[in-house]
Amino acid sequence: MVDALELVGDYVNVVWDPDYREARDVSVADEYFEFFAVKTTQCDVCNKAVTMDDSVVVYSLTVKQNRSFVDRFSREESGVWTQFLAKDWSVWLMCKDDAHKWGFLY
């Protein structure tokens, strides 16, 4: 089993604000769609086409702290997901189906 935050330690030296480390950061996707000036885009998890109404933004630390999500995608043979989870600190645009499936939304 992979500890989500151990992934980070392999690549960078991160100092965590204790308050933020406990944060669960999921928000509406309006600003994402406005910033990129698009009506639809793809879910970062399943590649399904999504709109702002059927997606959410999940912040990178929240994704990395989701043990079941990290365990699932760290088992990919290519290792691409493991590297992606460890190195990429951009937000994840996620369809609400995946957000529910992985426990980011209740």
- Residue ranges that bind Zn ion, judged by CB under 5 A: 43, 45-46, 48, 95, 98
Nearer to Zn ion, 7 or 44 (CB): 44
| Phi and psi, residue 93, nearest 5° | -95, 120
Q: At what angle do helices 80-87 and 67-74 cross, to 10 degrees?
A: 140
Nearest distance, CB of residue 65 and Zn ion, angstroms: 19
Nearer to Zn ion, 8 or 94 (CB): 94
Please say whether the beta carbons of 62 and 24 come within 8 A: yes
Nearer to Zn ion, 8 or 58 (CB): 58
Q: Is the dihedral of CA 11, 12, 13, 18 positive or negative?
A: negative
Nearest distance, CB of residue 45 and Zn ion, angstroms: 4
